[in-house]
Amino acid sequence: MGVNLLPINSKLCNFDCIYCECGWNADGNPEKIQLRFNAAEEVHSELEKRLRELQSENNLPDAITFAGNGEPTTHPHFSQIVDDTLALRDRYAPQAKVCVLTNATLIQRPSVISALQKVDRAMLKLDSGFDETVKVLNNPQGDFSVAKLVAAMKTFGEKLIVQTMFLRGMYKGKPVDNTTSEEVNRWLEILKELQPREVTMYTIDRETPAKDLEKIPLEKLEKIAKKVRVLGIIADVY
């Protein structure tokens, strides 16, 4: 079950990934520029309502996942929402895992890192070990450096799960590919340093805002996953 902390008709993220299934930030549509966060109380009441419905249908979820239209940790009350969600999960669906998909840019904030450490699965994005590639793939909207991100990830501890999108194609007339040997080797060096408990790897699944991007074949992802496993790290391919 997905939880979106942002309204359905807008996206709010401090990245603007060329592959984001929510489209470009704002998308040039004035309606979409009226961004706002869903109030923590509203998230709590909607989630409780839905869990009650699912309980009455005997159809409780295996997972409650924060993803949605943007970066969930940018919500000013993210920490409170995580606490509320964990309490609701314990009450209605104790078997469900609480998961967060995050671009990890805000993990240096104590409230964000402690909230992420409370959930069952916080999956932190690392699409490349090179600043230049991150600039193209993820289009950070503020200061960003891989070195700073990796330093922050190191403080995350044993619950660290890294998530990586692999793709290739053309963007603004230039090739983009985070599956080259140079890219994969640098990424593996970082994983070796971080020793996450798990790496989740995936490729494009839906329409992307940048049009000339390609899926990476499953066999290629599996080859990369094998190299991760050699480091003693669990690697899952989706």
> Interface with ligand SF4 includes 47 (CB under 6 A)?
no
Distance in angstroms (rounded) separating the CA atoms of residues 105 and 48: 29
> Interface with ligand SF4 includes 22 (CB under 6 A)?
yes
- For 38, which DSSP code? P
> Interface with ligand SF4 includes 16 (CB under 6 A)?
yes
Site for ligand SF4 in 122-151 (CB under 6 A): 138
- Closest to ligand SF4 by CB, 15 vs 66, is 15
> Interface with ligand SF4 includes 233 (CB under 6 A)?
no
Q: Which of 138, 212, 142, 119 is nearest to 172 (CA)?
A: 212
Of the residues 103, 163, 178, 208, which one makes contact with ligand SF4 according to CB under 6 A:
103
- Closest to ligand SF4 by CB, 51 vs 160, is 160
Distance in angstroms (rounded) separating the CA atoms of residues 175 and 89: 44
Of the residues 10, 15, 126, 213, which one makes contact with ligand SF4 according to CB under 6 A:
15
DSSP per-residue letters across 177-228:
ETTSHHHHHHHHHHHHHH--SEEEEEE--S--SSSSEEPPPHHHHHHHHHHH
Distance in angstroms (rounded) separating the CA atoms of residues 166 and 133: 12
Q: How far, in Å, are 25, 45, 102, 153 from residue 122 at the CA level?
A: 23, 23, 7, 12
> Interface with ligand SF4 includes 51 (CB under 6 A)?
no
Among 15-23, 33-41, 202-210, 225-233, the segment contacting ligand SF4 (CB under 6 A): 15-23
96 with 62: CB under 8 angstroms? yes
- Closest to ligand SF4 by CB, 79 vs 208, is 208
- Closest to ligand SF4 by CB, 16 vs 177, is 16
> Interface with ligand SF4 includes 27 (CB under 6 A)?
no
Q: Which of 117, 108, 133 is nearest to 187 (CA)?
A: 133
The two three-digit tokens of residue 190, written as one number: 């970082």
Of the residues 17, 123, 162, 237, which one makes contact with ligand SF4 according to CB under 6 A:
17
> Interface with ligand SF4 includes 164 (CB under 6 A)?
no
Among 17-25, 147-155, 176-184, 186-194, the segment contacting ligand SF4 (CB under 6 A): 17-25
Which residue in this structure is represented by tokens 């890219």?
A: 183
- Closest to ligand SF4 by CB, 38 vs 138, is 138
Residues that bind ligand SF4 (CB under 6 A): 13, 15-17, 20, 22, 70-71, 103, 138
